Amino acid sequence: MVDALSSWNDGAAKAAITGFVARVAREGGPDYVPPAERIAVFDNDGTLWCEYPMQVQVFFVLDELRRMGTADPALLEKPAVKAMLAGDLQALAGMSKQEVFEPAFMVHAGMTVAQFKASVAAWIEGARNPKSGRGFAAGAYRPQRELLDYLRANGFKTFIVTGGGIEFVRVVSERLYGIPPEQVVGSSTKNRFEVTADGIEVLKLPQLGSFDDREEKVANIELHIGRRPILAFGNSDGDLAMLRYTLAGPGARLGLVLHHDDAAREFAYDRDFRLSPLREALDEGAGYGLTRVSMKDDWTTVFGD
C-alpha cells in the first residue's frame, strides 16, 4: 500500500493526522463531517515554505526598493524601508511583523494587480534565500505538499490564510501547493476599479486594507471562507487565534503547529524570531489542544531534494 505521507515519520503527529482524517471521512461514524464542511486552513510563511531569515515577500520588496531608488521620499522615511535599503537584517528582525510588511503592501501602489503579479512571477524565478542559497520557489516543504494532497484526496478543501500579501501568494499557490488563487486569504491593500485606455483594471492603492495576522486571520476566515475550519496548521503565535478558533468548534477538530527545530536541514528558531515568534503556542499549546509537529523528528525530508 502506498503511503500518501511518505515524507512523515511514523509517530504521534502523523497518527494524529491520519486518525483524524479517517474519523471525519468515515460515513456513518460518530465524527463524520460532510465534504462541504471539511475545511483545512494553512498559514504560508514558515508553515508551507521557508520564512527564515525573513519572509519571502520582504526580500521581494527589498529588491524592488533597490530598483525604485529614491523616487518616493515619503516611503524612504519609514524605519523598515531604511533598514531594507541598508540591508540591515538585524534592524528588521527587531521590528514587528506589521512594521516590516506594511511597506511591502504599499510599495506597488499605482500598479494594476495584473502588473504586480507579473513582477512577482518574474522575480521569484531567479531570487534566492541569502542564507541557504536555495531558490525561494524551491523552499516549499515536501511533507506539507504531501499533506495537502492527502487532505484533498479525502474530501477536504484546502485554503491558505497568511500574513503575506494576498496577490503575492496567489502567484505561486497553485503551482507550489495545488491551492487555487481563490482559496488564498491574506493581507491586502485597498484597491480601486479603474477604466483605462487599455481596458478595465484593478489598481493597488497606497493604503493597507487588512493585515492578516493573529485575530485578523479569524475575521478574514469568516469574511472570505464563511465556514469554521476543522483543521488548521500554523507555526507561530500569529496563527494562534486561527488555531484556537478552529479547535473551539463542535465535533472532531485538529490544530497543528510546526516547530522549526532542525538546524541541519533548515533553521532552528522559535521564541526569539521577532518577525514570527513561537512562544505562547510552544508553552501553552498542549493545554489548547494543539499537536506539535517537529521538523527534526516528524519529517523524513524537508525540501525533498
Question: Where do the domains of the chain lie, and which CATH numbers do they carry?
Answer: 12-53+137-298 (3.40.50.1000)
User: What cell was used for 236?
Assistant: 507561530
Provide block-wise average pLDDT over 10 residues at a time, the chain (305 residues). 93 98 98 98 98 92 75 71 76 78 72 93 95 96 98 98 96 98 95 91 89 97 98 98 98 98 97 92 97 98 91
What pLDDT, on the 0 to 100 scale, is given for residue 167? 95
Nearest partner of 163 among 93, 224, 239, 89, judged by Cα: 239
Question: Structure pTM?
Answer: 0.92
What pLDDT, on the 0 to 100 scale, is given for residue 69? 62
Decide: 59 and 79 in contact? Cβ < 8 Å.
no
Cα–Cα distance measured from residue 302 to residue 299, given in angstroms and rounded to the nearest whole number: 7
What pLDDT, on the 0 to 100 scale, is given for residue 240? 98
What pLDDT, on the 0 to 100 scale, is given for residue 100? 74
Residue 53, preceding bond cis, omega within 30 degrees? yes
What pLDDT, on the 0 to 100 scale, is given for residue 188? 92
What pLDDT, on the 0 to 100 scale, is given for residue 232? 99
Residue 259 φ/ψ, nearest 5 degrees: -105, 120
Q: What is the 3-state secondary structure (H, E, C) of the chain?
A: CCCCCCCECCCHHHHHHHHHHHHHHCCCCCCCCCHHHCEEEECCECCCECCCCCCHHHHHHHHHHHHHCCCCHHHHCCHHHHHHHHCCHHHHHCCCHHHHHHHHHHCCCCCEHHHHHHHHHHHHCCCECCCCCCEHHHHECHHHHHHHHHHHHCCCEEEEEEEEEHHHHHHHHHHHHCCCHHHEEEEEEEEEEEEECCEEEEEEEEEEEECCCCHHHHHHHHHHCCCCCCEEEECCHHHHHHHHHHHCCCCCCEEEEEECECCCCCCECCCCCCCCCCCHHHHHHHHHCCEEEEHHHHECCCCCC
Decide: 21 and 252 in contact? Cβ < 8 Å.
no
Q: CB burial class (10 A; 0-12, 13-18, 19+) of residue 108?
A: buried
User: What cell was used for 278?
Assistant: 513561537
Residue 299 identity (one-letter amino acid): W
Place of cell 500518501: 4
Cα–Cα distance measured from residue 200 to residue 112, given in angstroms and rounded to the nearest whole number: 10
Cα–Cα distance measured from residue 293 to residue 84, given in angstroms and rounded to the nearest whole number: 32
What pLDDT, on the 0 to 100 scale, is given for residue 74? 67
